[in-house]
Amino acid sequence: MKGLSKLLGLSVLLAVGCGSPSADKGNFIEENVANAAQQLTLQTDLIEQSGRILNPRTTKADGSIQYIPIDDWTSGFFPGTMWYIYRLTDDPKWLPLAKKYTEALDSVQYLTWHHDVGFMIGCSYLNGYRFDSLPAYKDVIVQAARSLATRYRPGARTIQSWNVDRGWQSERGWKCPVIIDNMMNLELLFEASLLSGDTTLWNIAVNHANTTMANHFRPDNSCYHVVDYDPETGAVRARQTAQGYADESAWARGQAWALYGYTLCYRYTKDERYLKQAEKVANFIFNNKNLPADLVPYWDYDAPNIPNEPRDVSAAACTASALYELSTYVPDKGYKEKADKIMESLSSPAYRAPVGTNNNFILMHSVGSIPHGQEIDVPLNYADYYYLEALLRKRSLEQNTK
């Protein structure tokens, strides 16, 4: 636990102190926490009444809730949401639910066929370990990181995101595709290295961050979604997109992943290059001519029919959470104020669902993948996850500055 605490950065703030914030700031947080708790109570009541352990991801085309198997890349977000609502409310009723939904993912620690084990175990088990110090969770975190490390390609100094022998990936001619989303999985490697003393995991994370920084970004500091490498030589074979509008466009959630990913890399390493990269991405986002006034982006900054394009609340929520952490490292550039404005927008009736609607998800109007025709203008479990994380970070920051 000592190693874990040493480099947690803002996450240390998340795990301490739940006193009442000042009234003017606290009302916003408390009202949104109360709303979230009501929605999640309805959501978990449905699950508990089923007699099964179900994992909600989104709303299907027929209006029903889409529940997912444990090997779905988003399976860690709902358990993580349980940990966050437990921390935000201090209500003991959430603890057994957080444990039960987390521990349903036990076998994910051995998953090696895609890279998202970082999302899946990091959001569930790692939050559980931080908030409840469960010793058994440590072993799962370390094993999951070692499973993720099997996807490291030494010749390219990067972690391969997808296998290329299945589905639409096999049609692209890729050899070693790496997506910007993969930056989010590095937290699991850093933490597992601290918990186990295995420096190989740390070095893999650093190498991946460096390779991505060298090859994923354009001169304007926007990032590509997919970079395909030769796994033996590391040569870049292609720079493309899978979920954005076009290969040279700036997919909104990809920019959020980049901002969050390099901010967390700075948390652990204190390497100034990562901090500067995070700031470059933030500058791209907030200086973009197509960013709406409410700071909730369209699904792609270069989508052809702006302003008549879907917004992506999941990108906004992830951006806000990242900005709260970034503001602790660079306190004088207005990052917290931008995060606050995003959160005010997300908490408005334009994006926050009334209690009992939206299939009991907290936020509306996210986008999964428009090119694949999937999850367009729907709730998504990861939008809710990062929204609650942002609320927790906002509260922690304001309690420590009042």
Please list the active-site residues: 116, 181
CB 211 within 8 Å of CB 146: no
Q: How far apart are CA 181 and CA 116, in angstroms?
A: 9
Rg (CA), the chain: 19
Helix (DSSP H) and strand (DSSP E) numbers for the chain:
15, 9
149 has which bridge partners?
none
CB 13 within 8 Å of CB 393: yes
Q: 139: Cβ–Cβ under 8 A, 6 or more apart, which residues?
A: none
Q: How far apart are CA 392 and CA 320, in angstroms?
A: 11
Coil, helix or strand for 374? strand
Q: How far apart are CA 209 and CA 198, in angstroms?
A: 18
Q: How far apart are CA 279 and CA 264, in angstroms?
A: 12
Question: Would you state the structure tokens that stand for residue 359, as one six-digit string?
Answer: 């299939």
Angle value at C-alpha 9, between 27 and 141, nearest 5 degrees: 105
CA 130 to chain CA mean position, Å:
17
